[in-house]
């Protein structure tokens, strides 16, 4: 782990030499800042959605750490992208059919060592899937959280945890996103002050209508869309309706630069030390 951390620090220093210093206090909705969202943590360098990945993301100066949420059989919120545990653990099956104790018995890092031997670390062999509570306990108000509800039904539990850790009324500390508009609408009713982002995954380039944007503006502060499927006109139209646009998942220097130049307000990236050239 020490070697990976040193490598990561070197990368940060190399990148920051040619970039402006960005504050860790990001936007509530639309601002002039271009934000960097650590996609599943610093997932290019450590097993996604584990504390080592989040540690490196915080170290990189990312504006937000992204947390995908699944709910266990006994109603606990965990950081996990897939509905199944198969890809990133030594277990199998749906997380929603397993208790937290069963989830905690799984090992969530060896797959990374096998897939990326050049970044392998024996410490990853003992990492677990963290709960949202554990993440909040670790970072508290020192980090900003970009949270995705992967399915409806977890909104009350999520809001209660945010309230417990005093994150609801701390303006920029939390953004919540989802592909499920009903989940976002429920959160808006529970806590209208939290900025919400409606996710879209497009299969081809699209145009937004004014009617769609007016409907979105009733509950959302922004749009999340896949990079390469939206253009400058799409983003400008969203901005005219007061909606930010964050693009996923953008990993190369060239693509991050392009996202910045077409007017995006931020990107999700596996390499959270990267920044665009802002001239």
Helices (H) and strands (E) in the chain, counts: 10, 9
- In terms of C-beta density within 10 A (0-12 exposed, 13-18 middle, 19 or more buried), how is residue 204 classed? exposed
What is the spatial distance between Cα 187 and Cα 215, in angstroms, rounded to a whole number?
Answer: 16
Point out the catalytic residue in the list 49, 81, 180, 246.
81
Question: Residue 278 forms beta bridges with which residues?
Answer: none
CA distances from 124 to 88, 98, 107, 238, 239 (A): 12, 22, 9, 41, 42
Q: Give the separation between CA 193 and CA 171, rounded to whole angstroms.
A: 8
Active site residue 246: no
Pick the catalytic residue: 39, 165, 180, 246? 39
Q: Does residue 39 have an active-site annotation?
A: yes
Rounded CA gap, 242 and 226, in Å?
20
- Give the active site residues: 39, 81
């Amino acid at each position: 782990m020490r070697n990976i951390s040193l490598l990561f620090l070197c990368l940060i220093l190399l990148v920051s030499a040619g970039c402006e210093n960005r504050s860790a206090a990001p936007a509530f909705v639309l601002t002039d800042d271009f934000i960097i969202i650590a996609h599943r943590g610093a997932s290019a360098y450590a097993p996604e959605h584990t504390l080592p990945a989040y540690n490196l993301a915080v170290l990189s100066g990312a504006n937000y750490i992204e947390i995908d949420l699944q709910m266990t059989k006994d109603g606990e919120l965990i950081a996990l992208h897939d509905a199944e545990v198969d890809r990133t653990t030594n277990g199998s099956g749906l997380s929603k059919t397993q208790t937290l104790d069963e989830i905690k018995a799984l090992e969530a890092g060896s797959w990374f060592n096998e897939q990326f031997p050049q970044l392998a670390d024996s410490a990853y062999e003992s990492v677990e899937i963290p709960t949202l509570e554990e993440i909040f306990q670790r970072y508290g108000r020192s980090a900003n959280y970009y949270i995705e509800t992967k399915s409806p039904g977890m909104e009350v539990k999520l809001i209660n945890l945010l309230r417990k850790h005093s994150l609801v009324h701390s303006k920029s500390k939390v953004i919540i996103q989802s592909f499920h508009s009903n989940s976002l609408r429920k959160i808006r009713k529970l806590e209208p002050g939290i900025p919400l982002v409606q996710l879209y995954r497009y299969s081809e380039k699209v145009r937004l209508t004014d009617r769609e944007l007016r409907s979105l503006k009733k509950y959302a502060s922004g749009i999340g869309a896949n990079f390469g499927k939206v253009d400058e006109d799409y983003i400008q139209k969203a901005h005219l309706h007061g909606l930010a646009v964050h693009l996923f998942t953008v990993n190369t220097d060239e693509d991050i630069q392009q996202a910045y130049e077409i007017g995006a307000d931020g990107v999700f990236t596996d390499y959270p030390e990267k920044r665009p050239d802002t001239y």
